[in-house]
Amino acid sequence: MAPPLLTLSNIHLTFGSTPLFEGAELTIMPNERLCIVGRNGSGKSTLLKIAAGMVDHDDGKRWVKPGITMRYLPQEPDLSQFKTSREYIEDGLVGADDSYRIPYLLDGLSLTGDEDPQVMSGGELRRAALARTLAPKPDILMLDEPTNHLDLAAIEWLENEIKSLSSSVIIISHDRRFLENLSKRTLWVDRGETKLLEKNFSFFEDWRDRTLEQEKLDRHKLKRKIHREQHWVIHGVSGRRKRNVKRLKDLSTLRTQFKTQRQSTGNLNITVADSHQSGRFISKLVSITKSFGDKKVFDDFSIKITRGERIGIVGPNGSGKTTLLKIIMGEVLPDKGRVELGVNLLPLIIDQKRESLNDEWTLSEALTDNGGDKVMVGDNSIHVIRYMKDFLFLPEQAKTPLHALSGGERGRLQLARGLRLPSNLLVLDEPTNDLDLETLDLLQELVADYDGTVIVVSHDRDFLDRTVTRTIAYENNSKWQIYPGGYTDMVTQRGFGVVSTDKKLKYKPHNVKHSKVITKSKNKLTYKDKFRLEQLPQEIQKFQNRISEIELKLTNADFFHKDPDGFNEAIRKLDQYKIKLEKSEEEWLKLELLNET
């Protein structure tokens, strides 16, 4: 067996009076594919920096195989000292490093090399940093949140590039699909310790839950043992003195062990303010066209969004996702076409830029709008400390200025501020940036349980698959298409994912297994099939309208008491229409796939 390239043994590190690591371990083998996971603030980035030699530890041992080369991708790259992106990338090459990869990486990451760092977007800065990190083909590649600010085209390109490398790779990311596709082992950073799972990330969450459940059981057993020993101390017979002294010492040890155990942080407890119901339909776009100068963004696009739907919007950066969102909301008018908005809409918009946060506020001020120690959630008044705990903030953070919060903490704060307000239309514009896995889980549950309509713009494939029921996807040349289901359903239907709008990007879409089967099919549509394919969208819309009408009737609290038979009949019809809708959608999908072959 080949020796490791890098090891961290029994690492200890304390910031102030709080220990961050108490015996952390890390081993990197040749051709490693390791992902590091854990809650925000658990020390993942710090551990990676210790491995990279960028942060000193208090105690423990760091060993690196002589001659090994390493490259580290920071979360926030600094290009301020460079005139162009190419100059920054070339500065990362050392000695005999080949520079031939720079044009290839620039092309693959949709950069020219002439970009001015002073005006580059967050996504461009991240792509330049990736090119600088990937160019030398190091022995160990350390990537801290590499997918942040990247669009789906760049994320899928990066996956394929990493798969082709012989380098050992360590990844910190909250992108589940990215981790599932690349990792072979999973290192969990939790309460100062590290726990290793010799499997890829797809097995991690079940293993983590079993580990925490066993830990809870062990703690309960320890508590009961202490209780039995305390009972003996009070009521037991004296007996031999030496034996009794030893038993008292053991009890003291058990108490110390119980007190010093670092328990897992609680889960989020998200409460949404109640609101009145919106109208039956939310927004209707009819044959809209929109251009900015010579660039046409939408060309003859139509959609009707009804109450209770979960809509996803996907496309590369610059394709017009945010513009579409604003047109749906009535904030931007199309050049041609018609926009109709529903009635009684109370939108809640949680955006990726988090511009509503003032860095000079304290955490308490941000939640109370500087109005004392109470948070108003709808009509309910909750103490700010309790509300902070619901979103995993510690009581001592109440006076922390916002500029001192991490990206994940700012994301949680944005959620906490927004969910105080009544709403029936939830708009999430890149909501997953910087959120840890547990917060993402709760956000998914929020979307599932939300009583209104949800529209999501995201580059997170797993999040889209778990939350949306229809996907609006950018095709090409200002054309957009609507697909039933989430991101994977969309890929299955059209055979590829999101492709960059930049013509220089020589990205070849990755075909999933389903699409390979589809392309081999030689079935052709009959005239009857073609006619059926034309009729199905109207049929699907009819069933959706019937379902909405029945669901609206069922919301009447007096319906059952006034007409119990009618209520039961409505339930029966609702089930029938849902079954018919599902069958029609499946038939449409089957015919549409045949039509594309």
Q: Is CATH 3.30.479.30 correct for 6-205?
A: no
Rounded to whole angstroms, the maximal C-alpha distance in the chain is 97
Predicted local confidence at residue 503, as pLDDT: 42
Residue 248 has pLDDT above 80, yes or no: no
Predicted local confidence at residue 578, as pLDDT: 80
Predicted local confidence at residue 240, as pLDDT: 45
Predicted local confidence at residue 404, as pLDDT: 81
Residue 519 has pLDDT above 80, yes or no: no
| Across 69-90, average pLDDT | 92
| Across 15-23, average pLDDT | 83
Predicted local confidence at residue 508, as pLDDT: 36
The CATH number, out of the four listed (3.40.50, 1.25.40, 1.10.287, 3.50.50), of the domain defined by the range 527-596: 1.10.287
For the ranges 8-22, 46-60, 144-158, 307-321, the maximum mean pLDDT occurs at: 46-60
In the chain, where does the domain assigned CATH 1.10.287 lie? Answer: 527-596
Q: How confident is the model at residue 507 (pLDDT cuts 50, 70, 90)?
A: very low
Q: In angstroms, rounded to a whole number, what is the distance separating the alpha carbons of residues 251 and 267? A: 32
Residue 596 has pLDDT above 80, yes or no: no
| Helix spans in 165-280 (H) | 176-182, 204-235, 241-260
Q: Which CATH architecture has domain 281-506?
A: 3-Layer(aba) Sandwich (3.40)
> What are φ and ψ of residue 470, in 5° steps?
-140, 145
Average pLDDT, the chain: 82
Share of the chain above pLDDT 90, in %: 37
Residue 77 has pLDDT above 80, yes or no: yes
Three-state DSSP at 249 gives helix
On the 0-12 / 13-18 / 19+ scale of CB atoms within 10 A, 443 is buried
Residue type for position 375:
V
Name beta bridge partners: 15: 18
CB contact at 8 A, 132 and 101: no
Predicted local confidence at residue 242, as pLDDT: 45
Q: In angstroms, rounded to a whole number, what is the distance separating the alpha carbons of residues 460 and 451? A: 23
In the chain, where does the domain assigned CATH 3.40.50.300 lie? Answer: 6-205, 281-506
CB contact at 8 A, 342 and 279: yes
Predicted local confidence at residue 270, as pLDDT: 61
On the 0-12 / 13-18 / 19+ scale of CB atoms within 10 A, 175 is buried
Residue 513 has pLDDT above 50, yes or no: no
Predicted local confidence at residue 241, as pLDDT: 44
Residue 72 has pLDDT above 60, yes or no: yes
pLDDT tens profile 521-555: 345 667 677 778 888 888 888 888 888 788 777 76
Q: In angstroms, rounded to a whole number, what is the distance separating the alpha carbons of residues 469 and 455? A: 10
With CA atoms as reference, report the closest residue to 131 among 170, 91, 95, 163. Answer: 91
Residue type for position 45:
S
| Across 406-422, average pLDDT | 80
Of 174-183, 255-264, 480-489, the poorest mean pLDDT is in 255-264
Residue 221 has pLDDT above 90, yes or no: no
Residue 158 has pLDDT above 90, yes or no: yes
Q: How confident is the model at residue 511 (pLDDT cuts 50, 70, 90)?
A: very low
pLDDT tens profile 298-340: 999 999 999 999 999 999 888 889 899 999 999 999 999 999 9
Q: How many CB atoms neighbour CB 378 within 10 A?
A: 15
Helices and strands (H and E) in the chain: how many: 19, 20
For the ranges 49-58, 214-223, 313-322, 434-443, the maximum mean pLDDT occurs at: 49-58
With CA atoms as reference, report the closest residue to 462 among 220, 173, 125. Answer: 173
Report angle CA 558, 561, 565 to the nearest 5 degrees: 115
The beta-strand segments (E) located in 403-535 are 425-429, 453-457, 470-476, 479-484
Three-state DSSP at 40 gives coil
Of 267-276, 334-343, 418-427, 473-482, the poorest mean pLDDT is in 267-276
Predicted local confidence at residue 568, as pLDDT: 77
Higher pLDDT, 334 or 257: 334
With CA atoms as reference, report the closest residue to 434 among 144, 187, 202, 157. Answer: 144
> What are φ and ψ of residue 589, in 5° steps?
-60, -45
Predicted local confidence at residue 569, as pLDDT: 83
Share of the chain above pLDDT 70, in %: 82
Say which residue the tokens 């089967």 belong to.
517
CB contact at 8 A, 342 and 283: yes
Predicted local confidence at residue 353, as pLDDT: 60
Q: In angstroms, rounded to a whole number, what is the distance separating the alpha carbons of residues 339 and 333? A: 8
pLDDT tens profile 419-428: 888 888 999 8
Q: pTM for the whole thing?
A: 0.70
